[in-house]
Amino acid sequence: MTLLNVPSLAFSAQTDSSGNADYASAANVAHDLAREVLQRGLPPGVLLNVNVPLERAKGVRITRQGSRTYRATAEQRLDPSGRPYYWIAGMDMTPAGETDGDHAALREGFVSVTPLHANMTHEASLSHLAGWRLELPAAGERIVGKGG
């Protein structure tokens, strides 16, 4: 909905080893934060990603999206029409451990509120890639950088 200029929030409730969560606490956080967003608004293209801890929250932290290392495999499967598609299976994710990341806040018992933006362009890479001076190849050839 963010792309349609509708204020948007995504909520996740931390679960225990049995998959149980405190949805009542998560609902209270969702209610209060949604009310704030409706009153104050969000910048264009921004959505809030909210994580609510399993135990009673110590407070709220504004966080960065923590980076993660993923380990998974891709399995080829068939859709109902018999066409192949790939499913990411065996997903295991390890937080990188940034002190201002969403995982750290959650681990320390805080609600994490992370502003995300629809534009995921890595601005710092634009000039780096421009230095590659890529050109379209002739039919049947591969793309090759022209020096630089």
Q: What is the pLDDT of residues 65-84, one digit of tens each?
A: 876 666 778 889 999 999 99
- CA dihedral sign, ordered 29, 114, 88, 70: negative
Contacts of 138 (CB under 8 A, 6+ apart): none
Quickly tell me which residue has 């890639």 as its tokens.
129
Indicate the pTM of the whole model: 0.70
Assess if residue 23 is contained within a domain. Answer: yes
Average pLDDT, the chain: 85
Q: Which of 36, 70, 71 is nearest to 50 (CA)?
A: 36
Assess if residue 77 is contained within a domain. Answer: no
Amino acid 133: pLDDT: 78
Contacts of 54 (CB under 8 A, 6+ apart): 13, 14, 15, 16, 21, 22
Assess if residue 106 is contained within a domain. Answer: yes
Contacts of 69 (CB under 8 A, 6+ apart): 93, 94, 96
Assess if residue 74 is contained within a domain. Answer: no
Amino acid 60: pLDDT: 95
Split into its structural domains, the chain has a count of: 1
- Over the chain (148 residues), the average pLDDT of each successive run of 10 is 80 93 94 95 92 94 80 87 88 66 90 90 88 78 62
Assess if residue 79 is contained within a domain. Answer: no
Q: Which domain holds residue 15?
A: 2-66+98-130
Give whole-number Cα distances, 127 to 113, 118, 120, 124, 144, in Å.
31, 21, 16, 7, 18
Q: What's 9's domain CATH number?
A: 3.40.1210.10
Assess if residue 25 is contained within a domain. Answer: yes
Amino acid 130: pLDDT: 86
Amino acid 74: pLDDT: 86
Assess if residue 80 is contained within a domain. Answer: no
Contacts of 80 (CB under 8 A, 6+ apart): none
Amino acid 90: pLDDT: 67
What are 87's strand-pairing partners? 75
Amino acid 24: pLDDT: 93
Assess if residue 45 is contained within a domain. Answer: yes
